[in-house]
Structure 1
């Protein structure tokens, strides 16, 4: 992982989302994934993987600090933080899926404290609070709220290939992307659909 700003996202060969929204994308991309013609990607937040999770969070929080112009924060994760982070990851994933499908279904988020500050130039800032998983939840939810306010939240998506489910930032003009990789997951889906049509016709 050394030398990477967003290790979970970069292992999918994806470009990070702009600004602090990249932290939300990064959390989503810690999930395990199957990859065609390659070994699967492990869950970076799996139970028993505390050392790897700590290495990941160190890099992710440093990347967030650089992107948002904030001082670096050193989080120390404990074993009981890992299931909390997986729960948050799943909730954010379900929220994005619900929004993408236009269902409007309510998704209950983990609550997390934030501090709203007023800077000397009159701008408002939202700062994460807490420690460990609670701080990360605070930062992720705050960045999600800011992204909703600026209108870019809807561009953060989860690949429609269920075995992949990589989180990607849709940079298409009309925000129509559904695959994290058109060549990979998109082509595989089209091939499956074509085979299914031929099977039905035979």
Structure 2
């Protein structure tokens, strides 16, 4: 089962539960032609939540969490997505470069449960968007521990911002799709240089 938001942009998903973080980021309206914002209204958002949590459940082997959104939850979920997008756009080294303690943007609650099979599982707490946020924050934390989180990026094209998992050897990718966003940006820069040279 594909991640519903990421599949719209024909991208390979991030590994493991980090795919949930990427999928939330990719609920934005982007692409050419533009895909709709999957968090634009309750119906679309609930459909995405149901599909994304089913995909998460399939990947981690846990039950699908029951997450029901209302109008207030949807506003909070959009705000959470926007904050997460801004952090991913800063890059993984932003926290290391900070000279002062980094303020907390969001707190999510979860319980660690030890099963009879000997495995420790994370059980998200809360209701509505907070339960989903717990899953997303836990997935981002797992990505940090596995050193894969630093490869989750947003496209450098300011008109795009699609989240992609950089599979380049040296983690140097900046475009979600070089053919569309990369070529467009390079052509724009080339034309700007020609204009500057012509004016000089």
> What TM-score does the superposition give when structure 1 sets the normalisation length?
0.89
Q: How does 1:112-127 map to 2 (within 5 A)?
A: 112-120=108-116, 122-127=118-123
2:163 is matched with: 167
Tell me how far 1:123 sits from its aligned partner: 4.0
Residue 80 of structure 1 aligns to a residue whose secondary structure is helix
Alignment correspondent of 2:106: 110
Offset of residue 107 of structure 1: 5.9
Instruction: Tell me which residue corresponds to 1:94.
Output: 86
TM-score by length of 2: 0.90
| 1:131 partnered with 2:127 | yes
Asked if 1:15 corresponds to 2:9, the answer is no
Q: 1:45 aligns with which of 32, 36, 39?
A: 39
* RMSD, aligned CA: 1.7
CA distance in 1, matches of 2:153, 2:103: 16
Change (3 A) 1:146 1:101: closer
Distance 2:158 2:150 in 1: 19
Cα distance change on mapping 1:107 and 1:195 into 2, 3 Å: farther
Structure 1 unmatched ranges of 5 or more = none
Structure 1 residue 25 and structure 2 residue 17: aligned?
no
Q: Deviations over 1:34-90 (max 9, x none)?
A: x34x2x2222112xx111111111100000001111112232111111111111111
Query: How far has the Cα of 1:118 moved from its partner?
Result: 2.6
Give the structure 2 partner of residue 145 of structure 1. 141
